[in-house]
Amino acid sequence: MTLVLDFETRAPYLSGFHNGARPVSVGLEQPADSFARERLLDEAFGAARFDKTVERLRAGRKPARGLSLAAKRADSLVGTLRLWHIMAGGVPALLLGPLVVAKACRSQGIGRALMEEALGRAESIGHAAILLVGDAAYYEPFGFSRRHTLGLSLPGPVDERRFLGLELKEGALNTASGLVTASGAREYLAPQSAIAVRRAA
């Protein structure tokens, strides 16, 4: 399903029902979005994004099916959000992020639209819990809380106040204890890329 935002009211509309002057659609990311997505991530985080602890849970893995979202104005990518499969101390869960909206398009409700679409899709697919590392002030209004991650640790350094969880099914994280590990399907490395990686090593 595609969501369209009316920028006059910030109200979400289903595709085809918007009446805004500058609508933004939220839907599944397409392969052709990948270059623009990399640019958005570079603009937001720079090369440091590859050093983040959560990147260890994403590198070399495919994102969760149906949970790579793109926000577009006309044909331009203005926002991105992906979720990833993880094991949260023995409990299957999702890792949310990165969430980025183009600088020129912030504070227009696009981040919220991406979040709401992602949480709704994750719940409807049957996922039970989501973890993330991010600003509590932004994510708490969506229901994320530090209390769900108190028994969990990440595979690297992190500001623990930013390590948050959300239960889509009540009690899903009650028994979550220990290390968070990657559990997504491994990404296929094209033969040329594999050669490049071996040469660089």
Picking from 129, 138, 140, 136, the residue whose alpha carbon sits closest to that of residue 96 is 129
36 neighbors 72 (Cβ within 8 angstroms): no
The residues binding ligand COA (CB under 6 A) are 44, 99-101, 106-112, 134-135, 137-138
Min separation Cβ 100 and ligand COA, Å: 4
With respect to ligand COA, which residue has the nearer C-beta, 90 or 120? 120
Min separation Cβ 72 and ligand COA, Å: 13
**Rounded distance between C-alpha atoms, residue 86 and residue 152, angstroms:** 12
With respect to ligand COA, which residue has the nearer C-beta, 137 or 201? 137
Residue nearest to ligand COA (CB): 111
With respect to ligand COA, which residue has the nearer C-beta, 79 or 184? 79
**Rounded distance between C-alpha atoms, residue 201 and residue 196, angstroms:** 9
Min separation Cβ 108 and ligand COA, Å: 5
With respect to ligand COA, which residue has the nearer C-beta, 140 or 194? 140
With respect to ligand COA, which residue has the nearer C-beta, 107 or 192? 107
Min separation Cβ 37 and ligand COA, Å: 12
Query: Which residues make beta-bridge pairs with 3?
Result: 14, 26
* Tokens (6 digits) for 192: 């040329």
Picking from 31, 22, 32, 167, the residue whose alpha carbon sits closest to that of residue 109 is 22
Query: Which residues make beta-bridge pairs with 131?
Result: 95, 165
Min separation Cβ 11 and ligand COA, Å: 13
**Rounded distance between C-alpha atoms, residue 194 and residue 192, angstroms:** 5
